[in-house]
Amino acid sequence: MLTEDQLAKLRTAGKVSGAARELGLSMVKEGVKLYDVAQEVEGYIRDHGCGLAFPCNISINDVAAHYTPSCNDKRVFELGDVVKVDCGAELDGYVGDTAGTVEVGTNAYKDLVEISKTARNTVAEFIGDGIPLGEIGKAVEMTITNAGFTPITNLCGHQIEPYNLHAGLSVPSYANGSDVKIQSGMVVAIEPFATNGAGEVRNGKPGNIVRIARERKIADPKAAEFFEYVKGEFKTFPFCARSCDFPDAEKHVKDLVRHGVLSSYAELVEVKGGIVSQHEYTFYIDGNRGEVTTLP
């Protein structure tokens, strides 16, 4: 179980994350730049005393996750886009991880957008100490399939530990039969992805999100200085060049990826080109209930 001080940090990070999520979703309008939304979301998190647990993901239509705008990204939202905004704040390593989906100016995918939220909220009603992972997956799968859509089976929720965004347990979005149980004191992100496609994602092109892969001697003094900055600013969390307050960050990121110091996350794309929706909350498991920490 977390101490009161630890729980206070988790709740603060969660509250900031939830407010940042709602800010980002409110900005998603036709003609608005993705870059501007990402910058506002991350600026809100930092302005409210937290660090970034990962770059603001803004993934559109068949891209399920891992798209964040680059430093010079000119892309704008278009009418009919289905937009996932996924963001996270951290405070001394305690994380709020949260996401939502909106449709830009149309209602063609209203049911698909809502069903991932319904699946998340269904889990919120019963998640707690002793609940098997398979039961959570079954609830998500039944909710989504009963509405005529398909859960994405190779994307899952996850346990979160201090400075470790994806730790320990993976929480399925389908009835995988796992009898491993959620335990009191855990922090868990529940994030159902729903689609009108095949229900699976593949790796697309390399994205702009990176993480430290290994430490090794860096010959270029400026690149070495940048690496020290990254370790201090982002610690063990994923980041991107756009989020760095450092000259030539994009160049340094590319060089360090090429030298194997950093590794990049591929964009995750639905295998049949299906539209994808996502809703996510972080929960603190306190006895027989799960407390949502990422409400604004």
Active-site option among 92, 129, 166, 233: 166
Active-site option among 158, 252, 267, 291: 158
Active-site option among 81, 141, 191, 200: 191
Q: Give catalytic status of residue 255 as yes or no.
A: no
Q: Give catalytic status of residue 36 as yes or no.
A: no
C-beta of residue 272 within 8 angstroms of C-beta of residue 198: yes
Q: Give catalytic status of residue 166 as yes or no.
A: yes
**Cα atoms found within 13 Å of the Cα of residue 130, Cβ hemisphere only:** 3
Q: Using CB atoms within 10 A of its CB, is residue 175 exposed (0-12), middle (13-18) or buried (19+)? A: middle
Q: Give catalytic status of residue 191 as yes or no.
A: yes
Active-site option among 42, 86, 90, 135: 86
C-beta of residue 135 within 8 angstroms of C-beta of residue 144: no
Active-site option among 42, 62, 81, 97: 97
C-beta of residue 194 within 8 angstroms of C-beta of residue 112: yes
Cβ neighbour number for residue 123 with a 10 Å cutoff: 25
Task: Return the residue matching tokens 């930092």.
Answer: 46
Q: Give catalytic status of residue 158 as yes or no.
A: yes
Closest CA to 35 of 227, 241, 295: 241
Q: Give catalytic status of residue 97 as yes or no.
A: yes
What residues are labeled active site?
86, 97, 158, 166, 191, 280
